Structure 1
């Protein structure tokens, strides 16, 4: 079964370009293209949509508010489309349930992989956007500061897992790096989440890098 995708962007050129890109891959069915967040929410409430690609800056309802509504009212998984100018929205989008954020200038294969990853229940944390986020927050990475957050609740292995999540590693990649099973990795992530108020791995990455829970 194809992955049902909605594209929400107030720029018709980007909307159409994204539609053409996704149609070039057999995995996807673009079920709708809309011009603002309100339209995206209403369509997803009335139709089955697997992943919603949401621009951040849209009239009537922006991508952050649409993310919140989609997370609360539908089963659609929101994936934010962002530019470097949208850094101020990233933390709110993640807090409201965005499964990640993707820069609009990515190549088609990267866009394909991100949508598939989100559809499969993973979170997409793009390194270049994360670096920009760290810079905007003025927070050094753990390797620079030593103790950006309270490490005491976590085991050394949990800290290893958190560090690799912050680098954008998938569970499979972490498994290879640490020589432990993917199931064990999942257990460590569950333990990390239970020790914090965080809900998913994207938040773990930001917490590890900034010491802040959002």
Structure 2
């Protein structure tokens, strides 16, 4: 491999910032991620404000964010990172239906992983979020969305989550876009939607992008919540 080829390979890597208040957890995550040639850990943070600062300074592709951190939680940090379009956020959770996850949905997290995820799942999740396919674990997505819609949270129990509001009217989605939105609500990935609708992957990506734009949301997860609220999934 020439020096030029090596530099190009480095430039193509998915860059990640790790945000977790336990140094041992960050070390473990780094060890897993850096086994992959296409992933590079470029920064670490032990709290939310530092995660935001790292995202702003380093502009990573993905921030792997712990949901609960003292000194500034992952939800507030996610909200700020997404609002400033600094990176995609992949949330780590223990998931006992963890109420923090509901706040993360509204904050704009692109996906969720269990802290107990296998190394391959972690790497696949990071790659999926970096490439705009925010549905990492469909079975987890469905459970989160079902709990979110079935049991709206209040300020005392949600720890910062935004209370559910009545579902607004859907904007003018085409019939195909409505089908795509329904699939998102069921936790389907782009590949699964393409197979279901018998269309190409690029076509699905275009439809998903149009749906997000028309719904005025930034992530597939937020679109999935809207699908659930409107009874599409």
Shorter-chain TM range is 0.7 to 0.9
**SS in structure 1 at match of 2:196:** helix
1:73-116 CA-to-partner distances (Å, cap 9, x unmatched) read 35222111111146322232232221111111111111111111
> Aligned pair in 2 of structure 1 residues 102, 77: CA closer, same or farther (>3 Å)?
same
Root-mean-square deviation over aligned CA pairs: 2.8
Match of 1:97 among 100, 104, 108: 108
Cα distance in 2 between the residues matched to 1:58 and 1:194: 32
Instruction: Report the equivalent of 1:160.
Output: 179
Report how far residue 125 of structure 1 moved. Answer: 4.6
Distance 2:206 2:26 in 1: 39
Shift of 1:195: 4.8
Query: What does residue 162 of structure 2 align with?
Result: none
Partner of 1:110: 121
Q: Deviations over 1:35-84 (max 9, x none)?
A: 11111112222223221101011011111111122223352221111111
1:182 and 2:183 aligned: no
Q: Distance in 2 between matches of 1:166 and 1:205?
A: 4
Q: 1:185 to 1:134 in 2, by over 3 A?
A: closer
SS state of the match for residue 84, structure 1? coil
Counterpart of 2:90 in 1: which secondary structure? strand
- Deviation per CA, 1:170-209: give whole Å up to 9, x if none: 2233122211233443444345345534333222222222
Q: Tell me, in whole angstroms, the C-alpha distance in 2 between the residues paired with 1:189 and 1:124.
A: 12
Q: 1:17 to 1:89 in 2, by over 3 A?
A: same
2:66 corresponding residue in structure 1: 55
For 1:208, the equivalent position in structure 2 comes to 227
TM-score by length of 2: 0.74
Decide whether aligned partners of structure 1 residues 156 and 72 sit closer, same or farther in structure 2, where only a CA change above 3 A counts: closer
Report the TM-score when normalising by structure 1.
0.80
Per the alignment, do residues 134 and 61 of structure 1 end up closer, same or farther by CA in structure 2, a change over 3 Å counting?
A: same
Corresponding residue SS for 1:32: strand
- Larger deviation: 25-34 or 167-176? 167-176
The whole-number CA distance in structure 1 between the counterparts of 2:227 and 2:211 is: 11
Q: What residue number does 2:141 align with?
A: 130
User: 2:27 matched to which residue of 1?
Assistant: 16
Cα drift, residue 153 of structure 1: 5.7
Find the aligned partners of 2:53 and 2:174 in 1 and give their Cα distance.
44
The answer (yes or no) to whether the contact 1:139–1:210 under 8 Å persists in 2 is no
C-alpha change, 1:14 and 1:196, in structure 2 (3 Å) is: same
- Unaligned runs of 5+ residues in structure 2 are 1-11, 152-166
